[in-house]
Structure 1
């Protein structure tokens, strides 16, 4: 099952806001619909956003205002703007050329996911590995297989996976809702843990490696990823556990020199004061909701891309 694809004359996506209760495919015919899907996280994950950006240019049919609005729909994830740029570079050649470029972005993502899975699995030593991860980095974050979870899937397929410890990933519970759903579908053993339990379990030597994805990697190796990643990096450093970032080359942003230059999206109070529409805090409660944090490069053991292993 593909998270995002071009079918007929429309973009088709899995509506991730309905998982794990329902698996519903949305057909998107306009840029406005696609931007709405991106902003409400019906489609999310850096590689998937890159494909969405490229396919969205096809829907824009050359309209520069729609293309600019799509490019800016989510500021932290560099892949969205990158995907838009890949397809928009062919606007002068006509719609067919734009569609062909967008489909190359999709196909390259499929190949990249498999490459990252194999490269990451080769980097890790030992059998029966226990992996910790945050947020969702599987096929739902890409077209198929994903980034960090592609490594997990490869380990599982090779009989080298003991267990995955999945952080629930507040405030939107992408780990609890999405990663556990994907691990269940692949038959991989896993347990769900509270976000705050991660560093403690690292300190107990219960984990062989931490694998995360990335929404933007700065030129110096600083990495923006889902909020909670930095705490895991600190815990892994203290415990001597490898902390590995898995992301395609397109997530590396050479124009951003360091992590302090990455714009961090704040998604407002609603996601903090309520859970899936049910209020958990008193009316009028204010909240601070950064969707991402930045892990400094000196806390990262390795960055695994579809082409290489980087040791910051």
Structure 2
């Protein structure tokens, strides 16, 4: 198994280059960010998205801040940069995990007169490289799970591929690995409103990799499941609580309910950095809401009446009871519960 050729995050010596996911699939535009503030804005504005990719980008944002912290007050300047980056997206726990690692480097060098630029950059690169290695490991474990019942057709929601990670992908990484082994015959990708990550990004990635994909309206998922055309629902996660409840792109909960009703297995794929074992259940996970304009407009055209109240949550919570397996880089958790999660993650 190899990583995808898609490179959404690239370090360029004194700047960070991001593949602007807002422009896909029409155009491939690379945006350069030069400091932590620009990096945080790029995360907020969805230039980069996907929990692992957000964490990687934020880590490089701290390195950018260190390059520009030239005076003796560099620890406070970097702390301000971390606070700015932490505020960019509230739900994806990988963001806070990555920033905690960068803060650890700062703490180890706090007595230096100058900011530890090289050490912070090394840490950001290690976070990036580790994510790719973890994705490849998850691809192997997820493929082994699929192989138990032979070749299959799968459904996925949102985008969890190379664009959302350090390369290869989480849920889409499992799909990519299983396809390479001849275990998947077709992928059904949901459009994923309102940002259309499935339509704009997942379908684009799969086509680019030569993997057969059918793009469907979100509301068509139940029809596909009822017809018996889906064997696995494979999704990613932005945060996983200690009991196995999963926060993922809005619509995942509904899909999991439908999958259970129709006897379709549900696989969640996420690195261990996505687990937040300090949270007892999904009820404790903060749910991000976004600008009402994402629902009221299509481009510059208004499609909803003036002054209508808007509910635009980015995520929902899928209870562990609806999930057959969680795959991380350490192996497969099945069924997910506090004991099985703690055992695999070494917390017992």
Residue equivalent to 1:84: 99
Count residues with an aligned counterpart. Answer: 312
Equivalent residues of 1:172, 1:275 under 8 A apart = no
3-state SS, counterpart of residue 233 of structure 2? strand
Separation of aligned partners in 2, 1:101 and 1:209: 36
3-state SS, counterpart of residue 287 of structure 1? coil
Write out per-residue CA displacement over residues 132-166 of structure 1, whole angstroms, 9 at most, x where no aligned residue: 01000000000211100001111111122211111
Aligned equivalent of 1:196, options 202, 219, 222:
219
Residue equivalent to 2:70: none
Separation of aligned partners in 2, 1:2 and 1:307: 25
Write out per-residue CA displacement over residues 191-248 of structure 1, whole angstroms, 9 at most, x where no aligned residue: 1111111123212211010000000000110000000000110011111111010000
Determine whether 1:53 maps to 2:58: yes
Determine whether 1:269 maps to 2:284: no
Aligned equivalent of 1:109, options 108, 120, 131:
131
What are the residue-to-residue correspondences of 1:5-44 with 2, within 5 Å?
5-44=10-49
Q: Which runs of 5+ in 2 are unaligned?
A: 1-5, 67-74, 110-115, 337-348
What are the residue-to-residue correspondences of 1:180-191 with 2, within 5 Å?
180-191=203-214
Write out per-residue CA displacement over residues 247-269 of structure 1, whole angstroms, 9 at most, x where no aligned residue: 00000011111100000001021
Question: TM-score normalized by structure 1?
Answer: 0.97
Question: TM-score normalized by structure 2?
Answer: 0.87
User: How far has the Cα of 1:5 moved from its partner?
Assistant: 2.5
Residue equivalent to 2:192: 169
- Aligned pair in 2 of structure 1 residues 276, 138: CA closer, same or farther (>3 Å)? farther
Determine whether 1:95 maps to 2:117: yes
Write out per-residue CA displacement over residues 42-62 of structure 1, whole angstroms, 9 at most, x where no aligned residue: 000011011012111112224
User: How far has the Cα of 1:126 moved from its partner?
Assistant: 3.6
Equivalent residues of 1:87, 1:99 under 8 A apart = no
CA RMSD of aligned residues (A): 1.2
Separation of aligned partners in 2, 1:275 and 1:149: 27
Equivalent residues of 1:50, 1:83 under 8 A apart = yes
3-state SS, counterpart of residue 22 of structure 2? helix
Separation of aligned partners in 1, 2:300 and 2:157: 23
Equivalent residues of 1:5, 1:12 under 8 A apart = yes
